[in-house]
Amino acid sequence: MKNIKTVDIFESLKTLFSKLKNTVWFLGIYSSLLLTLFIFLSFLLAGIVFYKYVYLVEKKEAIISQDVIKFDNTAYQEILERFQLGE
């Protein structure tokens, strides 16, 4: 007599294989439709990225701060000396 768990596992594997087989057949039958859909989605995503990172950046005015950045030469010299000692 077979173990019930073994039969349940066998049946679940059978149904999983059947679903996988149906999915593969669906993808095979409608491959051109899916290819067209994926190409359209890639164009849509590329358009969104272009709009966000190219078009809006050119349209938006740059914010220029009024603070002047001052270069601290003594701190630069300290860092340069530490770097040279490390080598």
Confidence band (pLDDT; 50, 70, 90) for 3?
low
Prediction pTM value: 0.45
| DSSP per-residue codes, 34-62 | HHHHHHHHHHHHHHHHHIIIIIHHHHSPP
Q: Could you report the per-residue pLDDT of 58-81, keeping only the tens digit for each?
A: 777 777 777 777 778 888 888 888
Q: Could you report the per-residue pLDDT of 7-45, keeping only the tens digit for each?
A: 788 888 899 999 999 999 998 899 999 999 999 999 999
